[in-house]
Structure 1
Amino acid sequence: MARDNGISTDYTISYPIALTIISFLAIAMYNVVELTLAIFTTFKRRHGLYFYSLLVATWGIIPYCIGFFFKFYNITSSNILYITLIAVGWPCMITGQSLVLYSRLHLIARTVVGERWVLGMIIFDAIICHFPILVLLYGANSNNPTPFISPYSIYEKVQVTIFFIQECIISGIYVWKTVILMRSEVNIRGRASRMVMTHLIWVNLIIIALDITLLAIEYAGYYDIQTTYKAAVYSVKLKMEFSILNRLLDLFHGRIHDSSSDPRSRSHNTAELGTVRKSVHKTSTTATGTGNSLGNSAYARMGDTRSVMSFKDMEVVKTTEITVERSERVLAEVGSPSEGDGHSMAESSTKAQGIERRESASSSEIQIVKHGF
């Protein structure tokens, strides 16, 4: 196991390492400024777990970067100052980022048990990782750092591995559930929706890839590079998650539509997944009597067919609307000409009056729904 450079106070930074560290810290701080502006210009209602976890994870990067900047560049001789800054920013940045993903997990998971299990995992990992590592961090940067350097070096790798597994689990759930939704919605959702789902998969795969690079640098023994690279990685992950989770939320609120779909279907945000309108057509024969001719007809008229999209519980609702109209018309009411009648048949037929009556249409809708509506 290579010795980690920069754990204790006896650290001398080289020029190439100094440039690398300041580059990572600069990237992280720039992303913090950009994320802060995006958060306060995007959120209209500034409340909820998603807003606060995103804000805490973003602002947690600031004390984290300042603390390591003071430590590695020997800005101050007060060890307590920069260790306290690191101790505040570290949990906010790491656990806050996991809570950001958790806060939008219900959009695709839709199972309360699964959500609670993920939240329990995040809390448990925070307890077993943050508290011991912070104690060792204070010890390794104290006046007597020797007894703490080796345990800190080992547990640092343990906690990075635990958080890597945690990130893989949460991102894996997103990928798994998204693939299931895409398969179950073949030929139902539009092209724009599929693009959001595909984007969500790629974002989570990139997050896992970034965590792998972070884990590799940690096991290589470059503590100074790993700690500052972590700030840049988490700021980039927050930007990607903020973008895709907002698009995912817009998708489920109906604000993202397929440009190639029917405009009438785009005017509805949420309704049943599929609306099927069927028509039944009946015609009756016309009966002719001796003294009169009475025509009866019954027919069904189909209303406007509309295709409405929704994503509620993945259930299909079929609606059958039947409009039945019945009409009676007296086509001709002419008596038979008597022997003494001087009027001709044509003259008699012109005196016939047609009476039309139309009954009001009645319609019924039968919804065949699954359990849950």
Structure 2
Amino acid sequence: MIARAALAAMLALAAPALAAPKAKLAALPPYAGAYQPQTVDERGQWAEADEDERQLRDSAAVVTDPALNAYVRRVLCNAVGDDRCASVRIYILRVPVFNASMSANGTMRVYTGLLLRVRSEAELAAVLGHEFGHFEERHVLAGFRAARTATDLTTWLTLAGGYAAVSTAATSHTIAGNFYAYGRDQERAADRLAFSYTAASRYRPGAAADVWTRVMDENDATSLGRHQRSQRYDKVAFFASHPAPLERTVTLRELARKDGDDGEDATDTYAAALATWRPQFLTDQIKLNDFGGTEYLLAQLAKDGWTPDLLFARGELYRQRGNPRDLVSAAGFYREAIAKGDADPLAQRGLGLALLRSGDAAAGRQALTDYLTLRPDCEDAAMLRSLAAAQ
């Protein structure tokens, strides 16, 4: 991938200046506690965050599974410590994108697309630690103040320029640029703080860089699948709110080399905790209609072997795109999933539909009949019986 090649080149240049790895960093300083709003503006911002949380709490998108919620909280607590973790309320949202965020009042949103993409507790801890870093450093509040200052300055400049009959466009442009640069500096600070959290915890701090490397590669795969140009990961757009992914990856890898990268990944524990939910998260991912990115993601998840749920998801992905050769491939993936045993009965349904569309009517009808035997009361039973009986 383009991103991986560029990363390797930059790390090769940086390697001679890096010190030998050392033991884990010292423990974090005592937590001062969650910040409480002081001014009228701050109390207003907290009130908005509280109202957002009330709506979030009742949202149908929230995953309420106690086991999954407890597990994600445990990873956060392992990363930042129980004292810091106690001030956070976590909401897992069934949204198939790579994201997490945190509000000023202690609300953390974790998207299921993130849970699908990270490979270990260490990687999840790095992302959650980054968001908690924003919270501990009160970046949301600082960003609010910076935005208000930039807006006020721009407004006054516009009024003054109109009064003096001179253009203030260049100055307004500079103010906007400084505001977005300020946001990127906050992201860099949160990255460094997240590294400190994981370095002082049981987890391997270098896992954060692994996440960003795969994010870049997945974006490349998405672009390739859509016949678009790859993104530039070494450049920052003027209005970008985050640093370039390549910069973040290189910085995090350098920190791991300099300060040590010992610690556990807990890959197997993470896989076991997500096993029940992964098929559902894969279904959500396929609905994004992102063939290239999803194919890359499935291949990454299958590094240790293609399991029935991954093969079924791959069959669904190819059947959804629906080119003649895709239907042949989809049928093969479904059959392989079924042959491995313990496959979702929906694999029989997908196999039947793929075979019917590719012209193998007899085999397609048989696969649908087999599915209806397993799931006689499925939602689309009437339609499938009609297809299975058609001559």
TM-score per shorter chain, which class?
A: under 0.3
Q: Larger % of helix: which?
A: 2
Q: Larger % of strand: which?
A: 1
Larger radius of gyration: 1
TM-score when normalising by structure 2: 0.26
